[in-house]
Amino acid sequence: MNSGKTTPSSNSTQFHTVSHYTFFDGKPRWPENKRDLTYAFQPENQLSDDVKSVFTRAFARWSTVTELTFTMTDSYTDADLRIGFFVGDHGDGEPFDGVLGTLAHAFSPTSGRLHLDGDESWVVSGDVTASSLTTAVDLESVAVHEIGHLLGLGHSSVEDSIMYPTISSRTRKVDLASDDIQGIQELYGANPSYNGSSSTPSAQEGDTSGCGVNTLGSMWVLSGMLVSGFGLLWLS
């Protein structure tokens, strides 16, 4: 993985600057003629639609402020961005480490790989801050952060930003800060229909009913939590 960073070159003076986003070394990004990116999920993971919709929402946050579009495809091999859950050593030289520690990682453009640690207790829907499990990690928060890396953003020193390098467990942070927006717009330009307000796509905090259909088509209704083979949690 490329963990180096370059600071934005356009800031010649450090006074009054409010931007603290960074890029990867060499400022890699998706090419100019590629504004419509596809994404796919590792087929072996057999993720439920609830999990996929977390990523759909996470991608929407970035497409709102740029000219980028993200489309889900079933063809894992053809997709620009490939998302999957893995445990331990999974063949890319960056093994996962069990509960907490590294939660996920993504590679800089144009690798397109986004890996999540299957050993974490991922919260798919519901209120992560209300979880009794101290190791619960909000999937959407991590997804928004890792997508930032996929698109070429490094870490930011702005504490409120999505690209800030630490997050506490049982915390939800999914709204792009203006620092994130400036960083991504330096790479890809602004969305002409984005009005610059900080309102984000329907966060739908209130409609997580704690009830849904799993991949086998049976209903699950929750009192407490439900853990699947990938450590995914739904909180009621």
Which residues are known binding-site members for Zn(2+)? 90, 92, 105, 115, 145, 149, 155, 163
Paired tokens of 108: 């800089």
Q: Can you tell me which of 165, 199, 204, 213 binds ligand TQI, judged by CB under 6 A?
A: 165
Residues annotated within a binding site for Ca(2+) = 80, 97-98, 117, 120
Catalytic positions are 146
Distances (CA, A) of 17 to 14, 169, 179: 6, 30, 11
Q: Can you tell me which of 167, 190, 203, 222 binds ligand TQI, judged by CB under 6 A?
A: 167
Min separation Cβ 19 and Zn ion, Å: 17
* Residue 206: Cβ within 10 Å count: 6
Q: Please answer whether residues 144 and 163 qualify as being in contact, where contact means their C-beta atoms are separated by less than 8 angstroms.
A: no
The rounded distance, in Å, linking the Cα atoms of 68 and 36 is 6
Q: Does 134 bind ligand TQI (CB under 6 A)?
A: no
Q: Which of residues 63-102 bind Zn ion (CB under 5 A)?
A: 92, 94
* Binding mask of the shown chain, residues 95 to 134, with x at each position contacting Zn ion by CB under 5 A: --------------------x-------------------
Q: Please answer whether residues 177 and 160 qualify as being in contact, where contact means their C-beta atoms are separated by less than 8 angstroms.
A: yes
- ∠22-82-126 over CA atoms, to 5°? 80
Residue bearing tokens 């101290």: 134
CA 157 to chain CA centroid, nearest Å? 18
Closer to ligand TQI by CB, 139 or 225: give it: 139
The piece of 74-82, 103-111, 212-220, 228-236 that touches ligand TQI (CB under 6 A) is 103-111
Q: Can you tell me which of 51, 65, 114, 142 binds ligand TQI, judged by CB under 6 A?
A: 142
Distances (CA, A) of 102 to 73, 119, 182, 202, 223: 27, 10, 27, 29, 29
- Of these partners, ligand TQI, Zn ion, none, which one is at the site of residue 92 (CB under 5 to 8 Å by kind)? Zn ion
- Of these partners, Zn ion, ligand TQI, none, which one is at the site of residue 103 (CB under 5 to 8 Å by kind)? ligand TQI
CA 136 to chain CA centroid, nearest Å? 16
Positions touching ligand TQI (CB under 6 A) are: 1, 3, 102-105, 141-142, 145-146, 149, 154, 164-167
Positions touching Zn ion (CB under 5 A) are: 92, 94, 115
